């Protein structure tokens, strides 16, 4: 299951609950916009756009941090 999407987000992904392919990344994530905004009322479209922009511009740093955490 994608962490943070909640039950509704997992249902939207289908029974496998697996993450979307990286190539589809942001477009698939944006398809979950209504689900995210409903499940996390403290978030705004601005918050999500800022997070997606950060992830796009800091991809290597994020991937390195994930690798280091998985190795620990």
pLDDT value at position 33? 85
Beta-carbon contacts of 9 under 8 Å, excluding residues fewer than 6 positions away, are 1, 2, 32, 35, 36, 39
pLDDT value at position 64? 96
33 versus 60: the higher-pLDDT residue is: 60
pLDDT value at position 60? 95
Using one digit for the tens of pLDDT, what is the confidence trace for 20-42? 444 456 666 677 888 889 999 99
Q: How far is CA 25 from CA 3, 41, 57, in A?
A: 15, 22, 14
pLDDT value at position 42? 94
């Amino acid at each position: 299951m994608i962490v943070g999407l909640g039950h509704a987000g997992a249902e939207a992904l289908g029974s496998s609950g697996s993450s979307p392919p990286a190539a589809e990344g942001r477009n698939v994530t944006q398809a979950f916009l209504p689900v995210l905004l409903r499940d996390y009322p403290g978030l705004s479209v601005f918050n999500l756009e800022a997070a997606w922009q950060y992830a796009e511009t800091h991809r290597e740093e994020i991937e390195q941090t994930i690798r280091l955490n998985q190795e620990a």
